[in-house]
Amino acid sequence: MFFLSLRTKLLLGLLAATLFFGLSMIVFAETIIRGKLIHKLQETGVTIAKKVASDSVNSVITERYFEVAMMFRDLQAADAGVVYAYVAGEDGRDLAHTFAGVVPPALKQAHPVDPLRPSSVRELATDKGPVLDIGVPLLRGQIGVLHLGMSLTSIRKDVNGIVLLIVLFSAASLAVGVVAAIGFSRVITRPLLELAGAALTFGRGEEPKPVAVESEDEVGELAHVFNGMMESRKRASEEQARLIEELRRTLGEVKTLRGFLPICSSCKKIRIDQDSWQQIESYIRDHSDAEFSHGICPECSKALYPEYWEKIKDKAGA
């Protein structure tokens, strides 16, 4: 089975968290921030388009289209975000525009404007990049429709710049986090490795050195418990050794007579070799820790000392 070290798990967890944060911020930039920037551009573009449309009404009615064209060029010079501007008559003719030739038919067909609405906005793809095409009817479309193209390229650049900053920040955070994780993992794993080594030594039956306690957290508490277990085991081993030595010494002092003893049936001497005999009390005293004190039993007293026996008997009867 494949196992990962604690340090590797910390690094992988940090990497996953950093990637999740970076991707979340990129998605946020691509959706929320981009949407807000487009909405802001749309508000600005509608405001500009309505003003230009209002200023163009008299010129269109009087067919002074060159004034409208001049207004468009001034607008482009003042705002680099204006890609194009044109006015299409109610019959579809190009009345004024900023194009070199004619207004591209595909562009005119891409965004039909409802004359009953004050404005209409649609995102289009053009040869100059994505634009917001803003349409404003002139006098409810009776004299034509103004189209103003606002570039979305700047927004794309802004979003890309934000994404780049997020990527750089995430990379820097990851680098700092990796260094911090390595240092932190060393702080955690070093006492754990010491505990593991001491446990292996203990498992082999050897006496390990006490584990250094460098903190009062969970790892330090574990080290305290392990050292206490080692101290208890040491005391138990010492007590066991003392008891074994005491038992060995006690057993060494015990002398036990075993086997068959050749003994005389008359005098009760013990034969110690082929031609040598020894008093039974001397033999037992030499081969054990027993000592003898001599006395005389009633039967022997009666047999050996009959006159004293009679006197003792008479005194006992009296």
What's the Cα-to-Cα distance from 17 to each of 11, 23, 64, 302, rounded to whole Å? 10, 10, 63, 110
d(CA 83, CA 80): 7
On the question of pLDDT at 236 being above 70, the answer is: yes
pLDDT tens digits, residue range 68-110? 999 999 999 999 899 999 999 988 899 999 998 889 999 989 9
Query: In this predicted structure, what is the pLDDT of residue 49?
Result: 94
Regarding pTM above 0.95, the answer is no
pLDDT reading at 318 higher than 60: no
pLDDT digits (tens, 9 = 90+) for 5-19: 766 777 788 788 888
Question: pLDDT (tens digit, 9 = 90+) per residue, 122-157?
Answer: 999 998 889 999 999 999 899 999 999 999 988 888
Q: What is the pLDDT of residues 195-214, one digit of tens each?
A: 777 777 777 766 667 766 66
| Stated length of the chain | 318
Does the pLDDT value for residue 60 go beyond 80?
Answer: yes
Residues 6+ away with beta carbon under 8 Å from 83: 126, 128, 129, 131, 149, 150, 151
What's the whole-number mean pLDDT along residues 108-118?
91
Average pLDDT taken over every residue of the chain: 82
